[in-house]
């Protein structure tokens, strides 16, 4: 699925550097968490639970690679800011798992299953506060007041967009619960405001602000980041149908949680009247009231309607759009090695853990 031969072979560039940077980001996060926890080991363990599980460090990597493209020196200060972005992401994941009542995160029990709703919420809140502390420390290291203010405003806009996207998702889960009441445009609105904002174009825009780039640059980055974020989220939704051993998450977790996904939007549009009524009846239930047989039947409707294949096609269209825009704008950003690496990084992020048609076919066979 190599959409741009010009970038072929670029994937491995900087991998050692990114590994060292990942280690440094983790050290910074743990140092600040330890300072918050003091000598309370149980508190420390709860706060660092998701940090210790690793992850791809996608958000700080996007921040740092975009900063490099714009000629920003990668020093200790900006590494602290990268740690702030990663901690912010971990806090969002904790809140997400609590609100969705998810069972697994990165192959281990979620924070809510380890510590309960109240303590889990507190851990997520504290991580968010630490991320803001790191952000403020980085801001005060900047000499230009206008840059500080723009960085603060941009971070707050990203947080606002993320919160609204999460509310749209939760509103469907907890209130709407009916596929006839919305269409797939609702899905794209959720993903643009949530996944794309805090995971993809948000870190890009923050790097652009640090580099002193103008608002037009921020809009160009958003135009790249939105389809990249959509492709990333669709692939994540497809992975929900794969086995837990492959994904580190509960299989069919989105069905249990009642999420509005593009997959289910396609399945509902192609389902019979009887199947539509069944889908709405299951989605009307709380997670605890859904049975395995009901979830298996929902999954069968998805497989039989070809909804996974439709979602794959849309994901690939979004991937192509993101990759095309990132390579098209290489000259706008500056025809440098760093700009080429940036375009390669976008390609790698949207292709990470990518599911293909053979994966879907294998899963269909397993589901029979």
Residue with tokens 């603060």: 152
Can you give the residue ranges of every domain in the chain?
A: 11-141, 166-368
Q: Quote the pLDDT of residue 13.
A: 44
Q: Quote the pLDDT of residue 110.
A: 95
In this structure, which CATH number among 1.10.8.60, 1.10.10.10, 1.10.600.10, 3.40.50.300 belongs to the domain 166-368?
Answer: 1.10.600.10
Q: How far apart are CA 298 and CA 280, in angstroms?
A: 10
Q: Quote the pLDDT of residue 350.
A: 66
Answer for the pair 365, 242: CB distance below 8 angstroms, yes or no. no
Q: Quote the pLDDT of residue 344.
A: 79
DSSP 19: H
Fold of 11-141: Farnesyl Diphosphate Synthase (1.10.600)
Q: Matching CATH topology for 11-141 and 166-368?
A: yes
Answer for the pair 68, 345: CB distance below 8 angstroms, yes or no. no
Which one, of 145, 147, 133, 158, lies nearest residue 80 by Cα?
A: 133
DSSP states of 223-289 = HHHHHHHHHHHHHHHHHTTS-HHHHSS-TTHHHHHT---HHHHHHHHHS-HHHHHHHHHHHTS-GGG
The two tokens of residue 79 are 């590494």
CA distances from 338 to 73, 110, 228, 345 (A): 12, 37, 19, 10
Neighbours of 330 (CB within 10 A): 17
Q: How far apart are CA 7 and CA 344, in angstroms?
A: 6
Q: Quote the pLDDT of residue 3.
A: 35
Residues of the chain where predicted confidence (pLDDT) is lower than 70? 1-18, 243-248, 335, 350-353, 365-368
State the sign of the Cα–Cα–Cα–Cα dihedral 326, 329, 330, 332.
Answer: negative
Q: Quote the pLDDT of residue 14.
A: 45
Q: How far apart are CA 172 and CA 283, in angstroms?
A: 10
SS3 of residue 2 by DSSP:
coil
What are the residues facing 108 on neighbouring strands?
Answer: 105
Answer for the pair 168, 188: CB distance below 8 angstroms, yes or no. no
């Amino acid at each position: 699925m190599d959409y741009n031969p010009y970038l072929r072979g670029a994937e491995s560039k900087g991998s050692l550097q990114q590994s060292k940077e990942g280690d440094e980001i983790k050290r910074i996060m743990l140092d600040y968490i330890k300072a918050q926890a003091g000598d309370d080991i149980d508190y420390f363990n709860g706060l660092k639970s998701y940090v210790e599980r690793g992850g791809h460090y996608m958000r700080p990597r996007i921040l740092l690679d975009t900063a490099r493209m714009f000629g920003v020196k990668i020093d200790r200060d900006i590494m602290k800011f990268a740690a702030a972005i990663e901690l912010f992401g971990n806090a969002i994941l904790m809140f997400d798992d609590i609100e969705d009542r998810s069972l697994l995160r990165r192959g281990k029990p979620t924070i809510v299953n380890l510590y309960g709703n109240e303590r889990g919420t507190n851990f997520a809140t504290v991580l968010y506060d630490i991320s803001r502390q790191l952000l403020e420390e980085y801001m005060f290291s900047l000499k230009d007041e206008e840059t500080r203010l723009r960085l603060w405003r941009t971070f707050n806009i990203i947080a606002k967009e993320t919160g609204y996207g999460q509310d749209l998702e939760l509103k469907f889960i907890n209130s709407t619960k009916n596929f006839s009441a919305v269409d797939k445009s609702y899905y794209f609105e959720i993903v643009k405001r949530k996944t794309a904002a805090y995971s993809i174009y948000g870190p890009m825009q923050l790097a652009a602000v640090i580099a002193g780039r103008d608002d037009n640059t921020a809009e160009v980055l958003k135009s790249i980041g939105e389809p990249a974020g959509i492709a990333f989220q669709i692939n994540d939704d497809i992975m929900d149908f794969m086995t837990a051993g492959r994904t580190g998450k509960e299989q069919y977790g989105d069905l249990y949680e009642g999420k509005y996904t593009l997959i289910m939007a396609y399945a509902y549009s192609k389902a019979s009247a009887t199947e539509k009524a069944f889908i709405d009846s299951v989605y009307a239930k709380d997670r605890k009231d859904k049975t395995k047989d009901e979830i298996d039947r929902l999954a069968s409707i998805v497989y039989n309607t070809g909804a996974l294949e439709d979602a794959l096609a849309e994901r690939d269209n979004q991937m192509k759009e993101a990759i095309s825009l990132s390579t098209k704008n290489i000259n706008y950003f500056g025809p440098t090695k760093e700009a080429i690496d940036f375009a390669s990084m976008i390609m790698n992020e949207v292709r990470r853990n990518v599911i293909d048609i053979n994966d879907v076919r294998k899963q269909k066979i397993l589901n029979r």
